[in-house]
Amino acid sequence: MIHPDYEMVIGLEVHAQVTTESKLFSGSSTAFGADPNTQANNIDLGMPGMLPVLNQDAVDAGIKLGLALGCRINRKSVFDRKNYFYPDLPKGYQISQFTLPIVEHGNITIDLADGSTKNIGVTRMHLEEDAGKSVHDFGADHHSHVDLNRAGIPLMEIVSEPDLRTPEEAGEYLKKLRSILRFLEVCDGNMEQGSMRCDANVSVRKKGVNTFGTRREIKNLNSIRNVMRAIEFEANHQVDVIENGGEIYQETILWDANKNETRTMRSKEDAHDYRYFPDPDLLPLYLTEERIDGCAKSMPELPDEMKERFIKDYNLSPYDASVLTLSKANASFYEAVVDDKNDPKLCANWVTGELFGALNKAGLDIDESPISPEQLGELVAMITGDIISGKIAKTVFEEMFETSKNPKEIVEEKGLVQITDKGAIEAIVDKIIANNADNVEKYRSGNDRVFGFFVGQVMKETGGKANPAIVNEILKEKL
Ligand code: ADP
Ligand code: MG
């Protein structure tokens, strides 16, 4: 929330690490967690005379992402040198794509809370190499160290148009982009490990104004939550400055997650500060039609397509469908619960409501669920088959989550099978009516609300096991 007279303008730059075995221009391994400097060869170290060789898997990943985002795939693109000094960049330049990126002009459809969708433009996606890492270990020796394992790891930089207007939209954009990357299996999307990082560009303007305000860029945010919090804080800060007669300058800033505030890192550099020029060691990248077609043929079903299919085939609401297709694991769990036979809507309720809620509370991933899809499907079938009531099912579910037992077993053990025998229910109803003459009188003289009292008594008497429809029917009859 910001000042009601203002609106936020947000554009995101995402760096996604491409899941390749080797680096963008060398044969070094990209595996996570190795000892420092054990995965950096002469190319990554920037030794004179070394020649980069382009990783073709990273190129295919770029083409697939471009196709998934509806981008134009450039038949020719170019690798440029972006020159700057930093201890973790021994070459003195980063190889990136500046003038001609591999793909551009696409979009990402985000799902909004009210069930509607919004298209966010993707300006471009280019391939570039990552830098190394400086480790400032101010322990006993007061030294800084450089780890070059990450130097040369392939990244895709995905730049959005300034189309986002709220922190929530930015969060949805990142969620959708991450699920597209994961469906394509081109990036694991793990923000905590740094395989997906985000810079957020934020400006504010008075509502009704058509031009953009000056932006500040928040660097290297490592969770969706932090992206949203940082944007919120920054937008409010900018409004404060403007309302107090101040001015916003284009700057690069850092988010301090502990203090919950942004602070200036440096004034913003411009493209010309980097003296970009085409890397003379690398030829332009030409893509053939065969290659692009080949990538197109190998594309899996994507989140938006799967969402449409869930809406159509399972009759789900757009909201349920988008929650269930956020990850392949969610989607295949759900489809296994339905298993071509269970009520899809009821299954969606149990998966997105009960199951996701319990997993969340226990801090578990869906593939660590103590309840298998088959077991949850069985539980749903017991509800639709009138064997247990929805209410009892919740108790059974809790027990299943605790013990991983089958629902049938729990229901038998605890004697929870629903009472559908009319004679048995009638007998109970008769007894209750006989014992509550005053309430019967009230009901008969027009107080409909007393009906609930009778339903409650029957449920109490039967431990919640009486079939509610039959109870209603018999009570109406007898009262
Ligand atoms: P740079 O390369 O200097 O970071 P770009 O022109 O590539 O600059 O823009 C970077 C990001 O900033 C893009 O995501 C873009 O949408 C966003 N952006 C541009 N202008 C604004 C603005 N006035 N307010 C918010 N975001 C903006
Ligand atoms: Mg930038």
Q: Closest ligand 1 atom to the C-alpha of 268?
A: 3
Which among 474, 469, 386 has a CA at the least distance from the CA of 425? 474
- Supply the residue whose CA is at minimum distance from atom 22 of ligand 1: 215
Q: What is the pLDDT along the chain (479 residues), one digit of tens a residue?
A: 899 999 999 999 999 999 999 999 999 999 988 999 999 999 999 999 999 999 999 999 999 999 999 999 999 999 999 999 999 999 999 999 999 999 999 999 999 888 889 999 999 999 999 999 998 876 777 888 999 999 999 999 999 999 999 999 999 999 999 999 999 999 999 998 889 999 999 999 999 999 999 999 999 899 999 999 999 999 999 999 999 999 999 999 999 888 888 888 777 777 778 999 999 999 999 999 999 999 999 999 999 999 999 999 999 999 899 999 999 999 999 999 999 999 999 999 999 999 999 999 999 999 999 999 999 999 999 999 988 888 889 999 999 999 999 999 999 888 888 888 888 899 999 999 999 989 999 999 888 889 999 999 998 888 888 888 888 899 988 88
CB-neighbour burial class of residue 365 (10 A; exposed 0-12, middle 13-18, buried 19+) = exposed
Predicted local confidence at residue 126, as pLDDT: 98
Distance from the CA of 1 to the center of ligand 2, in angstroms? 25
Looking at the CA of 270, name the nearest ligand: 1
Domain boundaries, the chain: 6-295, 301-414, 422-478
Neighbours of 412 (CB within 10 A): 11
What is the position in ligand 1's atom list of the atom closest to the CA of 201?
26
Is residue 62 within 8 Å of 73, Cβ to Cβ? no
* 159 Cβ inside 6 Å of ligand 1: yes
**How far apart are the CA of 270 and the centre of ligand 1, in A?**
12
Q: How far is CA 228 from the centre of its chain?
A: 13
Which residues, in sequence order, are bridge partners of residue 106? Answer: 122
C-alpha of residue 312 to centroid of ligand 1, in Å = 38
Which atom of ligand 1 is found nearest the CA of 13? Answer: 14
DSSP classification of residue 355:
I
Cα of 11 to ligand 1 centre, how many Å?
Answer: 6
Q: Which helix (H) or strand (E) holds 291?
A: helix 289-297
The span from the CA of 180 to the CA of 166, in Å, is 21
What pLDDT does residue 386 have?
A: 85
**Residue 215 in contact with ligand 1 by CB distance below 6 A:** yes
User: CA–CA separation, 426 vs 270, rounded Å?
Assistant: 83
Calpha distance 389→475 (Å, rounded): 18
Q: Which ligand is nearest to the CA of 250?
A: 1
216 lines ligand 1 (CB under 6 A): no
45 touches 152 (CB < 8 A): no
Distance CA 475, CA 453 (A): 11
Whether 212 is in the pocket of ligand 1, judged by its Cβ within 6 Å, is yes
Ligand 2 centroid, distance to 13 Cα (angstroms): 7
> pTM for this structure?
0.86
Q: Hey, what are 205's tokens? A: 């303007």
Burial 291-324 (b: 16+ CB within 10 A, else e): bbeebeeeeeebbbebbeebbeebebebebbbbb
| Whole-number pLDDT of residue 114 | 84
Q: Measured in angstroms, how far is the CA atom of residue 147 from the centroid of ligand 2?
A: 24
Enter the tokens of residue 241.
């400055």
Handedness of CA 406, 408, 412, 414 (dihedral sign): positive
Residue nearest to atom 13 of ligand 1 (CA): 11
Counting Cα atoms < 13 Å in the Cβ hemisphere of 454 gives 33
- Nearest ligand, CA of residue 200? 1
Q: Which two tokens stand for residue 122?
A: 């993707």
Q: Is the CATH code 1.10.8.870 the one for domain 422-478?
A: no
Is the C-beta atom of 201 inside 6 A of ligand 1?
Answer: yes
Alpha helix ranges (H) inside 146-198: 167-184
Residues 6+ apart with CB under 8 A from 244: none
Locate 64 and state its tokens: 């697939």
Contact 59, 66 (CB under 8 A): no
| Ligand 1 atom closest to the CA of 159, numbered from 1 | 14
* Interatomic CA distance for residues 70 and 434, integer angstroms: 71
pLDDT at 262: 86
Pocket test for ligand 1, best of 7, 123, 159 (most atoms within 8 A of CB): 159
Q: Which residues pair with 231 in a beta bridge?
A: none
